[in-house]
Structure 1
Amino acid sequence: MTLDYSVVVPVYQGQATLGPLAQQLRQFFEAQGHSYEVIFVHDHGPDDSWRVIRELRQELGPDVVRAVRLARNFGQHNALLCGFRHARGRFFITLDEDLQHAPADIALLIQRQQDADFDVVYGCYEARRHSGPRNLASWLMRKLLRSSIPDLHPDYSPFRLLKANVARHCLEMRNSYTFLDGYLTWVTAHVGSVPVSHGPRAAGQSAYTARKLLRHSLNIFITFSDAPVRMLSYASVVVFMLTTLYSGYILVRKLVYNDLLPGFASLIIAIGFGVGLLLLGMGILGEYIHRINLKTTRRPNFVEAETLD
């Protein structure tokens, strides 16, 4: 059975919020007249969320509430991919469990998608309602990722609407670190965004501490970007240029003043060119490894958006 929308919710510490979230989703979709399902993916959190999910399934019915319990904690983005595998809707919607994303704002995502038939629509926040350190860590993370992954949409967020066929392309990819929004940049460039509200967390504390956000950012930076490799290549060019300039200076000084200690300048020049060659070699090797990584991750060579035979 094909539904209009599948709402995929990764669950880690949602014991206190899953009930209100499910009720708000039901009120929204029934008022809009859309068929829907909610897929809760329990990511092996520390609270009693799984019991709450089972109770919601009994209350709202198995056609509305579907659930998957993972064997251990695999992380938010892997939990979303798991939900995509089970989803039956024409469109997938992802949002957090903590009610910081208002289900009523789904209407804004739907309207924006229909405006230009976008493959992906992000809900962007006018004001983030996290703690100060969390907001700072998020800002730094976004700056790092935007500079290292130019195709990443500037308004990317966990509140998304995706076409089902676009989301399913992400299931084919394999990577040492899963980043759903990075996968989406490999699938489509037809992405939009719309301002949405961002409320305070209704209960509990976020599992994303500043330290975890930093580790998350570094893993994405290393896995999805070739910037570290390019930095080695650029560094080798800088070292070669500086060494060449220093060599010219030494030659001129030798010819004009002839006051240099024997051996020192030649040692520095040899070290400079040697370091430059090492950095260049590491950069070239890194380029090969990065390209091998892109093939092993099953990044698609092309994705057909439309075909007219």
Structure 2
Amino acid sequence: MKQIDILVPCYNEEAVLPQFYQRTCAVIDALPDYAFTFIFVNDGSRDQTLPILRQLHEKDKRVAYVSLSRNFGKEAAMLAGMDYAEGDALVIMDADLQDPPELLPDMIAWWEKGYRDVSARRRRREGETFFKKWSSHVYYRLLKKLSPVPVQEDVGDFRLLDRRCVKALCSLRECQRYTKGLFSWIGFEKKEILFDRPPRAAGKTKWNYWKLFNLAIDGITSFTTAPLRIAAFTGCFLAIVAAIYLVFIVLRTLLFGEDVPGYPSLISLILFIGGVQFTFMGILGEYVGRIYNESKGRPPYIVGESTREKK
């Protein structure tokens, strides 16, 4: 009998955890040919998430949990769950039921056909604003153009991973992780399943626009150096334009004896170039900051409590 682990990162999910557990159990109980294990990762929740996980573990030995010492973020929580996974396959799901458990049979069926990474692609996203959908679409198109790795569009973390994929992801120990890109980076045979993503069953989303913006920056700086190249090309272009304009001013003064006019335009040009320089310094700083953080060698997470041994 094949073992399938279900990894569920949790941060303040007390309102939806019992409903998620019951609904997912109804699906996996109808699949008697597989042995399932829940791996809940409590990412430093401040509500009753951890006590609920303790109760579920006492009630059902299929439920295991890993509680981190503080909130390290979803990316680190997913890595922690992968580190503790032991099954032949691993399914990553959110606890808010926006990832329907009813897709599990289809995912398993495609996995049995030889696909090692079976992901759920969002066809429609209910409960999200037009701006969020539009900005997400623009971001993925931009990332696909900049990155040499073909990152999947409108595909989140909801997927089934074969054991080989899990091992490959666990071998990547970078601290500032962008797992959506790592799924594509490791390769392997992939299959996408279309689904309509429902709104949250309960509770509030933890992803505000600022967190999504930071995640987008992590995605770009993790998988491409294109911003640095753009900065270099833009700097060269501005330098050439400035040199041509300088030659033009000097020749006009020598030939026609005119004074050099344009104090306001000169100040505007200086301010523009200064703004461009500061922007590119910020881009360079993002990459240097990532190098600095990775050079410390700190672990991506620290476990405070766990019901199972690390593999």
Instruction: Within 5 Å, give how 1:92-131 maps onto structure 2.
Output: 92-115=90-113, 117-131=114-128
Tell me the residue number matched to 2:240. Answer: 241
Q: Distance in 2 between matches of 1:226 and 1:176?
A: 18
Secondary structure of the residue that 1:88 maps to in structure 2? coil
Contact in 2 for aligned 1:3/1:90 (Cα 8 Å)? yes
1:145 aligns with 2:143: yes
Instruction: Within 5 Å, give how 1:242-261 maps onto structure 2.
Output: 242-247=241-246, 249-250=248-249, 253=252, 257=256, 259=258, 261=260
Of the structure 1 ranges 6-15 and 163-172, higher mean CA displacement relative to structure 2 is found in 163-172
Tell me the residue number matched to 2:204. Answer: 205
Contact in 2 for aligned 1:123/1:196 (Cα 8 Å)? yes
Contact in 1 for aligned 2:177/2:218 (Cα 8 Å)? no
Q: Distance in 1 between matches of 2:174 and 2:30?
A: 40
| Identity in percent | 25
Query: Which amino acid in 1 is paired with 2:120?
Result: G
TM-score by length of 1: 0.76
CA RMSD of aligned residues (A): 3.6
Query: Which amino acid in 2 is paired with 1:94?
Result: I
Equivalent residues, number: 283
Of the structure 1 ranges 126-135 and 70-79, higher mean CA displacement relative to structure 2 is found in 126-135
Deviations 1:182-234 (A, max 9, x none): 22333216433110231111111001111221122223333433122112211
Contact in 1 for aligned 2:148/2:224 (Cα 8 Å)? no
Secondary structure of the residue that 1:7 maps to in structure 2? strand
Query: Which amino acid in 2 is paired with 1:240?
Result: A
Q: Distance in 1 between matches of 2:210 and 2:63?
A: 34
Contact in 2 for aligned 1:155/1:193 (Cα 8 Å)? no
Contact in 2 for aligned 1:138/1:213 (Cα 8 Å)? no
Q: Larger % of strand: which?
A: 2
Query: Which amino acid in 2 is paired with 1:119?
Result: R
Tell me the residue number matched to 2:45. Answer: 45
Secondary structure of the residue that 2:47 maps to in structure 1? coil
1:146 shift after superposition: 3.3
Q: Distance in 1 between matches of 2:109 and 2:241?
A: 56
Secondary structure of the residue that 1:6 maps to in structure 2? strand
Gaps of 5+ in 1: 299-309
Tell me the residue number matched to 1:307. Answer: none
Gaps of 5+ in 2: 298-311
Q: Distance in 2 between matches of 1:111 and 1:185?
A: 21
Where relative contact order (Cα < 8 A, 6+ residues apart) is larger, the structure is 2
Secondary structure of the residue that 1:197 maps to in structure 2? strand
Query: Which amino acid in 2 is paired with 1:5?
Result: I
Q: Distance in 2 between matches of 1:126 and 1:113?
A: 21
Deviations 1:31-60 (A, max 9, x none): 223221110001111221112112222222
Q: 2:63 aligns with which of 65, 69, 72?
A: 65
Q: Distance in 2 between matches of 1:227 and 1:66?
A: 42
